[in-house]
Amino acid sequence: MTATLIFVIGAMAIIGALDSGIRGDHDVLYTKAIIDGFTALILTTTLGIGVLFSAIPVMLYQGMIALFATQIDNFIPQALMDSFILELTATGGVMIFAIGLNLIGLTKIRVANLLPGILVTGVLVTISHYMIGI
């Protein structure tokens, strides 16, 4: 359970799965897999082989987010989706930059608290598309 929570909780899991589903870009998930792999090696020394089984809920969690992202692409007009992808990439980039700052020890930003920014981005892009016409 501990390993599952460590691997699932965090902005990289959500942003990576969304990026994978919407744009087909798996780079964030690959980076997360490397980080999680090293973490799993360390956790296995103390928690045992059960850490291996944490891959199942992580795969389901990220897979469902990616599947949802690919399905929602069919219902949204292409111009709106292009704007959303552009803004989501910028929002995700800021979050991944914050994760990087945390990893090298420069700051202690709680990146998970920034996750509602993804929803706010979607709302603002939709409003600007339909109301303002951007």
pLDDT digits (tens, 9 = 90+) for 76-129: 888 888 888 788 888 888 888 888 888 889 999 888 888 888 889 889 998 998
Which region among 6-10, 63-67, 107-111 has the lowest average model confidence (pLDDT)?
6-10
Q: What is the pLDDT of residue 134?
A: 60
* Residues 6+ away with beta carbon under 8 Å from 83: 125, 128, 129, 134
Domain ranges of the chain: 2-132
The structure's pTM equals 0.68
Give the pair of three-digit tokens for residue 59: 């795969």
The Cα 69–Cα 92 span in angstroms is 15
The Cα 98–Cα 114 span in angstroms is 10
| Residues written for the chain | 134
Q: What is the pLDDT of residue 1?
A: 67
The Cα 99–Cα 95 span in angstroms is 6
pLDDT digits (tens, 9 = 90+) for 10-53: 778 888 888 888 888 899 999 999 999 999 999 899 888 888 99
Using an 8 Å Cβ cutoff, are 62 and 9 in contact? no
Q: What is the pLDDT of residue 93?
A: 83
The Cα 51–Cα 41 span in angstroms is 9
Q: What is the pLDDT of residue 31?
A: 93
**Three-state SS for 75?**
coil
Residue 2 has pLDDT above 80, yes or no: no
φ/ψ region of 10 (left if φ > 0, alpha if ψ in -120 to 50, else beta) reads left
